[in-house]
Amino acid sequence: MQAKSLYGMAVEQFNKAAELMDLEPDLAEVLRRPKRALIVEFPVMMDDGHIEVFTGYRVQHNVARGPAKGGIRYHPDTNLDEVKALAFWMTWKTAVMNLPYGGGKGGIRVDPKKLSKRELERLSRRYFSEIQIIIGPHNDIPAPDVNTNPDVMAWFMDTYSMNVGHTALGIVTGKPVDLGGSKGREEATGRGVKVCAGLAMEALGIDSKKATVAVQGFGNVGRFGALLIAQELGSKVVAVSDSKGGIYNPEGFDVEDLIKHKKEAGTVVTYPKGERIANEELLELDVDVLVPSALENAIHEGNADKIRAKAIVEGANGPTTPEADELLFKKGVLVVPDILANAGGVTVSYFEWVQDLQAFFWKLEQIRSALEEMMTDAFNDVMKTKEKYGVDMRTAAYVLAIDRVAYATRKRGIYP
């Protein structure tokens, strides 16, 4: 049987919500389709003088509520289907958070680990010049994603600024703080995960100070999510994993110490204060909250029945398949979907963009406070929709988001 495409999976989630809310078929068709998909093939001179041609993408899914917003990833498996799906999810993520944005996403098919820093810079600058025909501070604002970081955003910002003849801080978010970036951006997605984990526990009547948590994936999202869940909610983080495997300690980890070890050793599996387990085993542990923060489709039809967590808070994009969603809903597991749970990053990106356009920058505590307030409001809005329709949280989040984008589309009308 042919595997379902990521975009096909995203559309399936949309269709379920659209049918439930009785969305007009014509409007549903408009909202399913990406507005624009750009594929660029571009040459880059390598350090040894030979030229390689790379393929890059930028997809703008919907801009009814504002400029497209979404990250740019560098990965050898990046393709148009994946980028379309991620842009599609960004439309609903920004709408769930009630941000004045639409959805966008970009990427280059490349293994950045095989490039020198100079090659990476040349690749980044050429790609950004190629997609400049559709981006701008008021039409599409990229950000970091898999294998991109503040340094890459600085190159992007400088490239665009050189091309237009003036410094344009608002062209990308996720920049270094001293170059128009926002305080609190690095921890933002993890902080949003922490807020959702706390609210999910509250909804289920679980005392966060007695709760156990497992985190799959220990990159930026998993690392900050685990740290803040332990420090600010007082929960025990009993298992974590990365691409090499996982570790488990029923007494809970000192997450700060674990982060230090990961930095030094490059993996969590060699941490001495835990028993080694496989990534699959981590997903099936008897914990209160599971935070999948690795890659897509981690929770599927084959393992959903074995999951014992009471709540799942999706730090990654698309970690649960539609089939698994149904099984988990029947089991009474509260799944806080990606388009809500990991929206902290895009929310602080919005704060950064606002600060750049105004050339007025906020204090860290203002950013944290505003983020926590917006995440709480969004969680409560989704819970109300869930109760109204008697559905799972993902479907509720889609219904809420689709309703907001559909409203904007109806009010604006179809041009011309």
Catalytic annotation, residues = 105
Tell me if residue 174 falls in helix, strand or coil: coil
140-144 and 102-109 as β-strands: parallel, antiparallel, unpaired? unpaired
**Exposed (0-12), middle (13-18) or buried (19+): which is 353, by Cβ within 10 Å?**
buried
Q: Which two tokens stand for residue 101?
A: 């944005």
Separation of alpha carbons 150 and 113, rounded Å: 17
Q: How far is CA 274 from CA 230, 237, 254, 263, in A?
A: 17, 12, 11, 17
- Beta-strand ranges (E) seen in 27-123 are 36-45, 51-62, 68-75, 102-109
Q: Which two tokens stand for residue 229?
A: 């869940």
**Exposed (0-12), middle (13-18) or buried (19+): which is 399, by Cβ within 10 Å?**
buried
Separation of alpha carbons 123 and 110, rounded Å: 10
Separation of alpha carbons 164 and 239, rounded Å: 49
Separation of alpha carbons 86 and 71, rounded Å: 9
Q: Which residues contact 187 (CB under 8 A, 6 or more apart)?
A: 224, 228
Residue type, 396: A
Give Dmax over CA atoms of the chain in angstroms. 65
Separation of alpha carbons 377 and 214, rounded Å: 25
Q: How far is CA 392 from CA 97, 284, 321, in A?
A: 18, 21, 13
Q: Which two tokens stand for residue 348?
A: 């602080």
Long-range contacts of 384-389 (CB under 8 A, 24+ apart): 389/20, 389/21
Query: CB of 371 within 8 A of CB of 346?
Result: no
